[in-house]
Chains A and B, each alone.
Chain A
Amino acid sequence: MSMIDPNIFERQSPAIKVGILCVAFLVLLGFVLFVVDQCDSKIAHSKIDKARANVNAALEQVNAAKATVANDRVDEAVALDHVKSAANDVITASNATDDAKAQANAALANYNAAVAAKQPTGTTAEDLQRKLDALDQ
């Protein structure tokens, strides 16, 4: 047996009935507006969360790319050091070649002088032996 009389609404005065209906309407309207507001809020926050996630993902990509650039800087420094070392080697080798050429030119001058020199006079066997010994050295 229900404690609430099912005919309680019919037994009220018209003014109270109108008041009850108004309150019920307001409650229903409030519920509908609340649901619509919550849905709207959810959609807006969902878009914001998605945008925030996109920003975070992009920032992670930027950080990864920056790490790659940092590694590139190390590789560049190593490569430039190799280039500098190779350039120094080239300079050293070029100087050595210049020195060798200068010595070769001097040797060529000596040879030309030896060819152009007059024959010695009074060459002894000891002189020849000395020259032969010098050749063997």
Chain B
Amino acid sequence: MKVLISIAILLLASSAIVRGQCTASVGFVCITQTQSNRIAKDLDELKAARDLIVKLKAVDAATDVERMAWKNYQGFTEAAIAVLQKGIADREAVIALQQKALELYATLVDRLTAEINKPKTAWQKFITTLRDIALLAGGIAIGRAGL
């Protein structure tokens, strides 16, 4: 009987010693080593997952910025194409106006050439003839006066 009581006391005492490694109190929780190891691994995964989320958000933001840059590029390109098309149209207008000016200039040159090459008018012929007659008459008069 004493032996049984001693064994019981020994078991109770050893149990008390084991429990004494972690005494639950307010603000403290006792966990096993396995749980601690598992929490450590989960914390590592959580940290990696948070980091991944941050990086994915950065990718998202960078993609938005890139999309906006492409949109701006498209807008500026379309505006530049419109400006270039206007420039081409204006240059074609200049060419057309220059062509028209050349035609008008050719007309002017033709008229001036015709004016220069115009044959003597009746008035000019009349004046020339009168001059010739006057010269002839003058010559005759001088000749008679000399005789």
A-B contact count (CB 8 A): 200
Q: Is the interface of A mostly helix, strand, loop or mixed?
A: helix
A120 touches B40 (CB 8 A): yes
Q: Which of B3-11, B12-20, B30-38 contacts A (4 or more CB under 8 A)?
A: B30-38
B55 touches A100 (CB 8 A): yes
Count the B residues whose beta carbon is within 8 Å of the partner chain — how many? 64
1/0 contact string of A64-96 vs chain B (CB within 8 Å): 011011001101100110110111011011101
Count the A residues whose beta carbon is within 8 Å of the partner chain — how many? 69
Residues in A whose Cβ lies below 8 Å from that of B118:
44
Complex formed: what's the CA distance from A72 to B82 in Å? 11
A114 touches B45 (CB 8 A): yes
Where the two chains meet, the residues of A that have a C-beta atom closer than 8 Å to any C-beta of B are 26, 29-30, 33-34, 36-37, 40, 44, 47-48, 51-52, 54-55, 58-59, 61-62, 65-66, 68-69, 72-73, 75-76, 79-80, 82-83, 85-87, 89-90, 92-94, 96-97, 99-101, 103-104, 106-108, 110-111, 113-115, 117-125, 127-128, 131-132, 134-135
